[in-house]
Structure 1
Amino acid sequence: MNAPAQYILALDTATEACSAALYVQGDMTSTCQVDPRGHARNILPMIEELLNGAGLAIRELNAIAFGRGPGSFTGLRIAAGITQGLAFGAGLPVIPVSTLATLAQGSDNDEVLAAIDARMHEVYWGAFRRDRDGVMQPVVDETVRPPDRVTCPGQGEWQARGSGWKTYGEALNNHCTGRIVQYEPDALPHAADMIPIALQLYRQGRTVSAEQAVPIYLRDQVVQTPSKSSIPLP
């Protein structure tokens, strides 16, 4: 077990939203922009803005958290590559955080069925329930599959969250009849919602090295991983 982290940077580019958040001794600042084609252009200025606002350098952080997927292949490679470059240069550990768990964490409900449109008539799918520390924990294994083949828990009052519900709502509703009490199909993951998850994972010692900061695609045929980037430290 690690001592509680005092400084954590989080970034996510897994979906249409590009976001970054900075946790500083109990306080948090964040920024987000929905610009699907602008992630590579936007994320580093976001990080620099947050660090400069707090008067911190990358080397002063305890760790960097990033959205490890599932999500857009290109978006995941951007976040992983930038995280690798920053963490390697500063000698920092990395906290990979599930995109689906981040999506669920942003809900006011304690039980969430998170679905992200995976294209190809499939969804990235996960079911999450909030623990006593307020952090979402998986109830089923994350997966990618057709919307009429997801695993829908039989008990609970679930919120349906994410773009998968917007695209495949009818099929998912038919498969999860009677289990859903709220819908938020326009919800997107946000780096600010990664922070509670990242803090818990850091305390538990569940960090990896910069070289191990790779995306989780869920689709087996996707094997490309990012190489270490040469990125100047803010």
Structure 2
Amino acid sequence: MDARRFLAMDTATEACSVAVSTADGVQEEFVVAANGHSQLLLPMIKRVLDRAGITLADIEAIACGVGPGGFTGVRIGVSTTQALAMARGLPVYPVSSLQALAATVPQPQMLAALDARMGEVYAGVFCQDAQGIPQLQGTEKVCVPDAVDWPAAGQWWGLGTGWQAYHACWQGAGILGWSGDSLPRAEAVLRLAQVRYQAGDCGISPISLEPHYIRPSLPEEQQK
């Protein structure tokens, strides 16, 4: 498998993005849209492939941001990845959208938070490894902002829409700063998947790809 020919997408948030890599580099398309990801995604994939000068037949693997994020957006990315990968017999690489968010900034220690609506946030603590890849410390969680247990010491950078909404709850001595407009990008999803491939990870079958919601959907909550 050629690690250079990966297709990646992330639709877990209000951002819809697609990226493809070839020997000549990475092509990415990124748009922020409140909804409409189902109409945007396939045309974006075609445009990015066209700009790269290749077709889906040239792709060797597909990486997908699987959440946490909006239920509809995550499902669109997962189902599209499954359909394209099954049609071509390709392996897939699920990538945490919080990890992809953390991979968008060159900071060694990051507090990633996405606005989960309903007064909650998706949150994760990440530290860069020797390769500059953000690695999760502990577990990702969804909770009210006051319940997020950010590290009490250290020099941390906050990023994500959760910081835009709730930064007043989290100001502390260890916070260097924060960027509230950061969103996961397909380029970061692609890069994280390629690092895993180069480390010997062969991906999974598309039928095994599942959303990483963390929080139960409203119908699931109502069934409790």
Judge same fold: TM > 0.5, yes or no.
yes
- Residues 7 and 62, structure 2, Cα contact 8 Å, conserved in 1: yes
Distance 2:24 2:47 in 1: 19
SS in 2 for 1:202: helix
Instruction: Provide the rounded CA distance (Å) in 1 between the counterparts of 2:219 and 2:197.
Output: 27
TM-score w.r.t. the length of structure 2 is: 0.92
1:218 equivalenced with 2:211 (yes/no):
no
Deviation of the 1:220 alpha carbon: 3.6
1:26, distance to aligned residue in structure 2 (A): 6.1
The correspondence of residues 1-234 of structure 1 with structure 2, limited to 5 A, is: 5-25=3-23, 27-173=25-171, 177-203=172-198, 204-205=200-201, 207-221=203-217
Percent same amino acid at aligned positions? 39
**Following the alignment from structure 2 to structure 1, what is the Cα–Cα distance between the partners of residues 121 and 4?**
36
1:136: Cα distance to partner?
A: 0.9
Tell me if the contact between 1:4 and 1:199 (Cα under 8 Å) persists in the aligned partners: no
- Structure 1, unaligned stretches of length 5 or more? 225-234
- For the aligned residue pairs, the C-alpha RMSD in angstroms reads 1.7
Unpaired segments ≥5 residues, structure 2: none
Change (3 A) 1:107 1:195: same
Instruction: Tell me which moved more, 12-21 or 164-173.
Output: 164-173
CA distance in 1, matches of 2:26, 2:196: 17
- Determine the C-alpha separation between the residues in 2 that align with 1:55 and 1:223: 43
Provide the TM-score with structure 1 as the length reference: 0.88
Q: Is the 8 A contact 1:20 1:47 kept in 2?
A: yes
Moved over 4 A (4+): 221-224
Aligned residues: 219
CA distance in structure 2 between the partners assigned to 1:115 and 1:130 by the alignment? 17
Distance in 2, matches of 1:125 and 1:220, equals 16
**Secondary structure in 2 aligned to 1:152?**
coil
The alpha carbon displacement at 1:223 in A equals 8.5
In the alignment, the residues of structure 2 paired with residue 62 and residue 133 of structure 1 have an alpha-carbon distance, to the nearest angstrom, of 23
Deviation at 1:208, TM superposition (A): 1.3
- How far did 1:54 drift? 2.1
